[in-house]
Structure 1
Amino acid sequence: MALVFISLSLILGMSAALPQDMTGKMLVFPQETNTAHVRLTPSRQNLGAVTVCMRYFSDLTRPFTFFGLATPSYNNDFHIFKMPARDEINVDVRNIVLNFKGQDYQLNRWQSVCGTWDAASGLVQLWVDGKPSSMKFSTESNISGPMIIVLGQDQDSYGGSFDSGRSFVGMISDVHMWDYVLPPHHINNYRRKFTFPPGNVLNWNLIEFQIVGKVLIQEEQHL
């Protein structure tokens, strides 16, 4: 009976998504697939503002998704997407696509990307390595769940319809999400790895997630 109990506990532990401290760790997406991804669990399901920050390392020159939040009504409710042109990144809010040009996306180098949106003003802004974009208007409508947040794949439908040609290959770390617009000095502190308030919707230091397919957890490599 003891052996059965231990085995059952291990099975339950493997299937459950428990919060983990990912400080100093990164997610490795080692190959192009239409299956491998990480699903993050947010702490709330209604948002009147958003800031998402993350670090990434990749040599991709094709389009891919940095961060995708979908709801049953909008597959790109908050979505940060790398366009084919090297200096263009899209931020989508409630399926409204905004294109930001002049961003210094680089290959084989750790970079930070942050996207912000506020329903009170409808304004969206993108930051790459602490460099802000112009502000653009999207929508003044709240994002309301149930939310599915995915890293590594582009949700063409709610939680699915992945395309390997838009998958992420590389490393991701330090994913944080707030339910307010993070002030510029905190975005700069995030970029420089100085003190900043951890995300209150997603907090890399205590984050709940599930891995599907070939995604690995490794120690960060910052040389």
Structure 2
Amino acid sequence: MMKLAILFLMVSSCYAVPNDMSGKVIIFPAETNTAHVKVTPAVEKIFFSVTVCLRFFSDYNKEQAPFSISTPSHADGFVFFRGDGRYRLYIGDKGVIFNGLPTGLNEWNSVCVTWDSGNGLAQFWVNGKPSAKKALQAGASIAGTPSIMLGQDQDAYAGGFDVHDAFYGHVTDVHMWDNVLSPAEIENYMKCVISRPGNVVDWKNLEYTKHGYVIVEPNQINICP
């Protein structure tokens, strides 16, 4: 009976099932090059604009990637790093650095990242504070079947993990849209009000699989005041 139970857990962790993750967090409790969560997008299309929002909690100031998208043609299709007092965003394997944003340790940080191919402008919002808008990959797109992951940077399509880039902490309220959210919508997200769920990734209807040492449990740390 015990062997059957273990087999069931192993099989169930390998298949994506939609889940309402409201009030839950995904915890990456150790630095590894294996632990990650693979997210199945609700739609597959060519993306010409993107907004990704999430909240993270970590006491580690190294540069780490809580969210990444790779495509068959670009390992860094869309990935952002936080750490060393700055944020970095890569799209189509090209990146830009954002300075002067909150990188609080041992507290929840609410992050939204926007990118618009039409004008090539990218921007971070962290805990309600917007960054300067910076040029990145004007006229480009995120094309091909996306591999969306939490907890690891993908140095190859759907793999190529490096422990030095692994996220080490808690993640929650992950949403992705195929458009640039308005400042009012982003400000609402910062206040824990979701004006409209992500139409690509929706935390309340998240299809995902866990791999490696990953824990999902109810959140026990206050997120929004």
Q: What TM-score do you get using the length of structure 1 for normalisation?
A: 0.91
Which residue does the alignment assign to 1:193? 192
Which residue does the alignment assign to 2:47? 47
Q: 1:138-166: per-residue Cα shift (whole Å, max 9, x none)?
A: 12212112110111111111111111121
Which residue does the alignment assign to 1:111? 109
* Matched residue type, 2:180: V
3-state DSSP of counterpart to 2:209: strand
User: Within 1, Cα distance between the matches of 2:9 and 2:159?
Assistant: 28
3-state DSSP of counterpart to 1:145: coil
Report how far residue 120 of structure 1 moved.
Answer: 1.3
Report how far residue 43 of structure 1 moved.
Answer: 1.9
Which residue does the alignment assign to 2:56? 56
Q: 1:55-111: per-residue Cα shift (whole Å, max 9, x none)?
A: 00001111110211000111111111124x31x100111111010000110100011
Which residue does the alignment assign to 1:129? 127
Which residue does the alignment assign to 1:3? none
Q: Structure 2 stretches of 5 or more lacking a match?
A: none
Which residue does the alignment assign to 2:180? 181
Report how far residue 10 of structure 1 moved.
Answer: 7.8
Q: Does 1:66 align with 2:72?
A: no
CA root-mean-square deviation: 1.8
Q: Which runs of 4+ in 1 moved over 3 A?
A: 6-15
Match of 1:100 among 98, 114, 137: 98
Distance 1:12 1:162, change over 3 A: closer
* Matched residue type, 1:194: V
Q: Does 1:154 align with 2:153?
A: yes
Q: Kindly, what percent of the aligned residue pairs are identical?
A: 42
3-state DSSP of counterpart to 1:142: coil
User: Within 1, Cα distance between the matches of 2:207 and 2:105?
Assistant: 29
Report how far residue 9 of structure 1 moved.
Answer: 8.3
Which residue does the alignment assign to 2:75? 75
User: Within 2, Cα distance between the matches of 1:79 and 1:194?
Assistant: 24
Report how far residue 42 of structure 1 moved.
Answer: 1.0
Report how far residue 12 of structure 1 moved.
Answer: 5.8
Which residue does the alignment assign to 1:209? 208
Aligned residues: 216
* Matched residue type, 2:67: F
Report how far residue 16 of structure 1 moved.
Answer: 2.0
Report how far residue 222 of structure 1 moved.
Answer: 2.9
* Matched residue type, 2:21: M
Q: What TM-score do you get using the length of structure 2 for normalisation?
A: 0.91
Q: Structure 1 stretches of 5 or more lacking a match?
A: 1-5
3-state DSSP of counterpart to 1:211: strand
Which residue does the alignment assign to 2:166? 167
3-state DSSP of counterpart to 1:15: coil
